[in-house]
Structure 1
Amino acid sequence: MKRLYIVSWCSAALAVLVFWQTHVPTTMRPGAGPLVKKSWLISESASLTPKDLCRAPDQTFLTYPEWFLVFGPAEYADYLQHHTATSFPLMTHVFQAWESYAAVDDQIRGTFPPNDEYQTMIQVINTSSSIEFGIKAVYEAIIGRMTDSRDGSIETPEDQFAGNYARDYVSFLDTAPWYEFDFIAPLKRLWADTPLVGQHPIRKLERRYFLTTELTVKAAYGWALGLAGKAA
């Protein structure tokens, strides 16, 4: 048993290494290092913008990785309107988020004063999104793929529900933080309004498990973050 345990971990490490070596970058850089002269990035000493409304120049660059994370759920929701969640390229999305952030960071490093607070915010959100998408990617690759349609087309009410829930969630993000979303309401609709019996019963059961787990975990995590925010 111990030998099998060691072989399993070695195989997993080898798989990760091979994947990393053969991985094709998702963000294509036009060149290495800064692409413009540093003299072009110097702020004017006499700004027309009131001082209390000015922001650090590097935040113009960091806006890209920040909004990439904001529009990530929207991209996911749009995809789910016509395809299953199982067929969404989750890990490609994760790699693109980090690679684009690294590309932007290369352009501003050493040019502007450190902006630790803003950088930390992006890193925390990126890490949280990567964990969520990473867990989903592993599950979809192992379990979801076995129940999914061959071409990733929607065949069950549960998959349709996933698209509707994702769209409602994105609309909510336009007005409030994600953790204020009521995840319990769609969970109730899943079990009350979505037919329990129908075609593709294995897929239906598997998607119910997947969606129930996601909504329950996010409800608990969001509730905890809300309490932490009020206590701060």
Structure 2
Amino acid sequence: MKEVLAHIENKKQEFAKMPLFEYMKDTSIDPRQRLAWAPCAAPFAMGFAELNRDVFRDEQANDPIQKVINQHTCEDDHHWLWFLKDIERLEMNKNLKFTDALTFLWSEETRIPRSVIYELYKQTFKASPIHKLVVIEVIEATGNILNSATALVTKELQNINGKNLLYFGDVHLSVEPGYVIGIENIDKFIKEITLTQQEMNDYFDVVNQIFDLFIELTNALLIYAKKHEIKQLAQSGQIN
């Protein structure tokens, strides 16, 4: 299993070079503008809670890996509350008619954030605990890169407006170290799981597929941010 974890780490370093993260490092751009993609991420942020609760978690299982996953999901399944609070603090919580909100959430602009959740469901529904663990490790790796980038932006914002963000700030980053295996007494056990060559090849493919999903997601978020200027978000009274 440690070979799979090493592959995830290598892919994580490549992922950190995605254009979205370069965009968020650009201090010549207004910090709120660098987070202007937040509304586009709503289907993912909200859907991830259900994914943890209804797919990753299995309270009836006695498998030690599944128990680790269960513990992890109890941490991850409420972060959507932080997301909603941050949308308010970023002044992106504009009034919309219910039909307009539905249109936005199921629009072409949010298609990729929705599809990432769907694909994660397909990858992990009724899957083995090891398979789910590999997927979650990739999610944690990509999330750590994103959270590290957003936390730096939110520090700039806090210096400007005094508002502390949760989902995009240090609060989220502090509980997302970028891996699941740090839970006490399970680290060594997971790293020493023996896989056949075929299993290792299969999990390498899974890792690549999940990273590809998040590459597509970050590209979609960047397109949204560049399309929606912060003044438009603040003044139009609409999300799109």
Q: TM-score if structure 1 supplies the norm length? A: 0.30
Higher relative contact order, chain-length normalized (CA < 8 Å, sep 6+): 2
- Bigger Rg, structure 1 or 2: 1
Q: TM-score if structure 2 supplies the norm length? A: 0.29
